[in-house]
Copies of this chain bind each other. A is one copy, B any other.
Amino acid sequence: MSKLAASLKVAIEASGLRNGMCISFHHHLRSGDFVLNMVMDAVSEMGIRDLTINASSIHDGHKPLVEHMKSGVVTGLETNYIGPVVGRAVSQGVLKNPVIFRTHGGRASAIETGTSKIDVAFIAAPTADIQGNCTGKTGKSACGSLGYAFVDAMCAGKVVVITDNLVEYPLADYSISEVYVDCVVEVDSIGDPQGIVSGTTRITRDPIALRIADMAARVIEASGLLKNEFSFQTGAGGASLAVGQNIKERMLKKKIKGSFALGGTTGYLVDMLEAGCFETILDVQCFDLKAVESLRGNPKHVEITASHYASPTAKSSAAEMLDVVVLGGTQIDVSFNVNVHTDSNGYIIGGSGGHSDVAAGAKLALVIAPLSRARLSIVVDQVLNISTPGRCVDALVTQCGIAVNPLQPELRHKLLEAGLPVVEIEDLRKMAEELNGVPHTPMFKDRVVGKIIYRDGTLLDEIFQV
């Protein structure tokens, strides 16, 4: 009767996992996650091979995965993001089949519509009861929202919850319901709290980045969207946070009451909620402890699923209601296409995550980037890989001026009226080349190591072996 398995291996056996199947993981424990590695070690010891992993993201803490790819335990990977460590190995051809890159919204959609089938979902749960009701809000490994894991729980053939904080039935404040859970495993630790909280959630002190952030805030103001009912998403990078800070000051000064903030949540966004800048945070992922605490205690801060965040096949999503999103990029080209998958050398160092989802949904999608990083041009003639199509990007904000997508003449007009330094993106590319020289094109092999699938399921680009 009980769902409680004596060990992880017992749970895996009970799940019926066999060679060739697909297993899934969520990434809310980020680089501190122990669960993916512990499941893969157990699976490997059990002699199961030829698995496809469907993980919302792969972080550097998942480095042991490379060995499982080499040994043939893992031959396929579907994910929305791969950090540089595993990314480099994949770019070098370690995985048998090309990685299928999706977006956060696209992954939810693909699983819900049956395009991506999951045989067994392994759900790292900071707190769970013996029947599998679970949450990320509490426990020693608390990570906050479990937003990306709902679809795994709801659609996988078998669902195994792995927790290091087993509580008595019923866990009242559950996120994922027992109705989806087959099996519960208690382990010593599901993750390292230091790694669960991202190290990136500090506002930049770099003067160029601060200049860009200030310019981005001016663009948002000039766009006319910064008024009551304003809604906003920004990333957790230092420059993005600086944009948020700028926006916060403007909102407080002008007594603007925004509507909602969306996406991955940081303490800075929580400060904005508490300061009255927003009515609500819709939270699909927490980046720091302050965000976790706020989600736990503030009824205005609510967990949403990946579908609710940005699925293109949901009947609607929050992304579609978004006014402004501030995004980054490793490269942006003169057609406004953005690359967040590979670095200038062609190595996989990331992925779309929600980048192209919110770029498509928001009324104003800004990319902020310096002209160059480490003597490499960011603004280029053609990106090595298209992660987000240029048609969804409204403007590029750099330290040397703002390039507006020709598809948005009205925005261009508004920025010029506000006296902002509007330039042509072609000129930004030239300036970047003057600084850094013409970018060297990496040598690629013919073999495809990654396919970038757009949120609607179509093939957007391919990544070649370096």
Contacts and interface: CB of A to CB of B under 8 A. Distances in A.
Interface of A: 3, 131-132, 159, 168-170, 172-174, 177-182, 229, 259-260, 279-280, 282, 299-300, 302, 304-305, 307-308, 311, 314-318, 321
Question: Ordered nearest first, which 10 A-B pairs have the shortest CB separation?
Answer: A179-B314, A172-B280, A178-B316, A179-B307, A131-B316, A172-B302, A179-B308, A177-B308, A170-B260, A182-B315
A280 to B, nearest CB: 4
A362 to B, nearest CB: 14
A259 B168 CA distance: 9
Contacts of A174: 302
Given A307-B179, A308-B178, A315-B180, A173 B3 contact: no
B159 A315 contact: yes
| Most chain B beta carbons < 10 A, residue from A3, A178, A279 | A178
A393 B9 CA distance: 39
Contacts of A172: 279-280, 299-300, 302
A179 B280 CA distance: 18
Contacts of A316: 3, 131-132, 178-179, 181
Contacts of A173: 299, 302
Contacts of A305: 177, 179
22 contacts: A131-B316, A132-B316, A159-B315, A168-B229, A169-B259, A169-B260, A169-B321, A170-B259, A170-B280, A172-B300, A172-B302, A174-B302, A177-B304, A178-B308, A178-B314, A178-B315, A179-B305, A179-B307, A179-B315, A180-B315, A181-B315, A182-B315
A161 to B, nearest CB: 11
A46 to B, nearest CB: 23
A401 to B, nearest CB: 33
A97 to B, nearest CB: 31
Contacts of A314: 178-179
Contacts of A3: 315-316
A107 to B, nearest CB: 14
B132 A315 contact: yes
| Most chain B beta carbons < 10 A, residue from A3, A259, A302 | A302
A305 B133 CA distance: 13
A167 to B, nearest CB: 10
Contacts of A181: 315-316
| Most chain B beta carbons < 10 A, residue from A280, A311, A314, A315 | A315
A179 B259 contact: no
A321 B170 contact: yes
